[in-house]
Amino acid sequence: MIRDFVMTSNKQLTTDKIIFLDRDGVINRDSTDYIKSRAEFEFLPGSLEALKFLKLNGFTTIIITNQSAVNRKMIPEEELAAIHALMRDTVSASGGEIRDIFFCPHRPEEGCNCRKPKPGLIYQAQKRYQIDLSTACMVGDSAKDIECARSAGCGCAVLVRTGNGISADKILAEKKIVPDHVADNLYEAVRWLL
């Protein structure tokens, strides 16, 4: 049964089942050249099914993503918005739902607080939706995602092996950060969560 999410006047979500997802390498194929257009955006196998299962099981899905291609002048913010609209529309047509998308447009050297591994984007989502982070889960393909989840105080952090997931092991081991689970892809991560 699909659960509709009704928001209260202070925007608090009526479910405590919150999942934060990285975008590139988790939902769609990543690229060392960045995803700069709708034509370059390609869903990973199983990701649409995973997003559908999340909705069917009462999860609220929020995207947390670094998109430095914006400040690198490789993609205008309008095209990023169009990519996100395409992603949301396709997810919705497949039975899933993305409640919101928080992105950091900054390059690493800009030293912002919103670029993962810093937890600024998760804190923005927490403030907007009054989220209890201790019950939230973050799924990502890089060490930055897992470190971000730990810094923000998320109750669960899952590493997927798509995207940068394989190289993340060494970085996480060096930092002594351990994910709660490692899955081959988003579909398997969602199966574990459920």
Q: Which positions are catalytic?
A: 22, 24
- Distant-in-sequence, close-in-space partners of 184: CB < 8 Å, separation ≥ 6: 160, 161, 162
Nearest partner of 141 among 112, 156, 162, judged by Cα: 162
Residue 108: phi, psi to the nearest 5? Answer: -55, -40
| DSSP code per residue over 14-72 | S-S-EEEE-SBTTTB---TT---SGGG--BPTTHHHHHHHHHHTTPEEEEEEE-TTTTT
Cα angle 156, 160, 163; round to 5: 135
Tokens of 76: 């205008």
